[in-house]
Amino acid sequence: GESVGLHLPTLSVQEGDNSIINCAYSNSASDYFIWYKQESGKGPQFIIDIRSNMDKRQGQRVTVLLNKTVKHLSLQIAATQPGDSAVYFCAETRSNAGGTSYGKLTFGQGTILTVHP
Amino acid sequence: DARVTQTPRHKVTEMGQEVTMRCQPILGHNTVFWYRQTMMQGLELLAYFRNRAPLDDSGMPKDRFSAEMPDATLATLKIQPSEPRDSAVYFCASGLVRQDRGLYTDTQYFGPGTRLTVL
C-alpha cells in the first residue's frame, strides 16, 4: 500500500548547476536562522547561519538570503556537486526569547536535493 | 574537531524492554537537546537542558520517556517500557547559549544519532 508520511519538496539538478532551496518561516519574531544538511544515515550538519540584521551571507559555495518582509529564506549552492545530494533543513529561533523558549529551534520539513552527474 | 557523540549507533530491542541512549555534548557547550526523527513527523524536539537543568520536556511522552544529565559530559534518554511506535532515529544536539547584551542563541550541533528499532 501507499506509505503515508512527510512529502518533502524535491529539487533535481545537474552537476555544475547552481541550486536554490527555499524556506518559508513562520514566526515574524524569529531573528536567527540556520541551514542544515542531512545526508542519509547521518545527523543534520550545520552549513550556514544568518541573523536578522543581515539580508545576505556568503560561505564557501553557499549563500543564504533572508527576506524578512515575506518571511522567506533561501540557500543557494554554487556549482552543485554529487556530494551535495542530501536533505536540507532550515531552522529558525528567537535569540531574545525568554524562559524555556530560549535556544529552541523550529525546523522546516526539509527539501531533498538530488544532483545528477 | 569537536563533535557530539552518541551511543549506541543502532539498537534493536523487543517491546517492553528498557532502552538507554547516551550523548556526550561538545565540551564547553551549555545546552543539550534530544530530538526524534521519523518519516511521519520529521524532526521533533523531545527535551532540552541548559546548564544540566531540564528546561522543557513537553515533547516527550512522560509515562515512558525520561531524560537526564548526570554531569556536564553526559546526557541520557531512557525509554521504559519501549513500544514499536518508538522506533525512530534519536538525535542529540549541543550548543552554547551566551548572554551578551541580552540573550544570544548560538548554533546547535548534532550527533550522528541512535537508530532504534523496537520489535
Among B103, B112, B93, smallest CA distance to A94 is for B103
Q: For residue A94, what pLDDT band results from cuts at 50, 70 and 90?
A: confident
- Residue A1: its pLDDT value, please? 41
- Which of A 86-105 lie inside 8 A of B, CB atoms? 89, 93-98, 100, 102-105
Alpha helix (H) residue ranges in A7-105:
none
Q: For residue A3, what pLDDT band results from cuts at 50, 70 and 90?
A: very low
Does any CB of chain B come closer than 8 Å to the CB of residue A30? no
- Residue B2: its pLDDT value, please? 84
Share the mean pLDDT of chain A: 89
Find the CB nearest B107 among A46, A96, A104. Answer: A46
- Does position A113 have pLDDT exceeding 60, yes or no? yes
Over residues A77-82, the mean pLDDT reads 96
Find the CB nearest A6 among B40, B55, B109. Answer: B40
Whether residue A44 is preceded by a cis peptide bond, meaning omega within 30 degrees of 0, is no
The SS3 of residue B60 is coil
Min Cα–Cα distance to chain B from A66, Å: 17
- Does position A2 have pLDDT exceeding 50, yes or no? no
- Report, as ranges of residue numbers, the positions in chain B whose pLDDT lies below 70: 99-106
CA angle B56, B101, A67 (to 5 degrees): 75
Q: How many CB atoms lie within 10 A of CB A32?
A: 20
Q: For residue A95, what pLDDT band results from cuts at 50, 70 and 90?
A: confident
Cell numbers linked to A87: 536533505
Amino acid symbol at A99: G
- Does position A72 have pLDDT exceeding 90, yes or no? yes
Min Cα–Cα distance to chain B from A91, Å: 10
Comparing A15-19, A64-68, B104-108, B110-114, the range with the smallest average pLDDT is: B104-108
- Residue A104: its pLDDT value, please? 79
Min Cα–Cα distance to chain A from B73, Å: 19
Q: For residue A87, what pLDDT band results from cuts at 50, 70 and 90?
A: very high
Find the CB nearest B39 among A5, A49, A103. Answer: A5
Over residues A8-13, the mean pLDDT reads 92
Interface of B with A (CB under 8 A): 4, 31, 33, 38-43, 45, 48, 50, 55-56, 91, 93, 95, 97, 102-105, 107-113
Could you tell me which residues are beta bridge partners of residue A74?
A: A22, A65
Residue A100 or residue B99, greater confidence: B99
- Residue A86: its pLDDT value, please? 97
Q: Which residue of B has its CA nearest to A111?
A: B42
- Residue B39: its pLDDT value, please? 85
What is d(CA B53, CA B78) in angstroms, rounded to the nearest whole number? 17
Over residues A7-29, the mean pLDDT reads 92
Q: Which residue of A has its CA nearest to B54?
A: A100
Residue A101 or residue B60, greater confidence: B60
Residue A67 or residue A97, greater confidence: A67
What is d(CA B40, CA B60) in angstroms, rounded to the nearest whole number? 16
Set of chain B residues whose Cβ sits within 8 Å of the Cβ of A49: 107
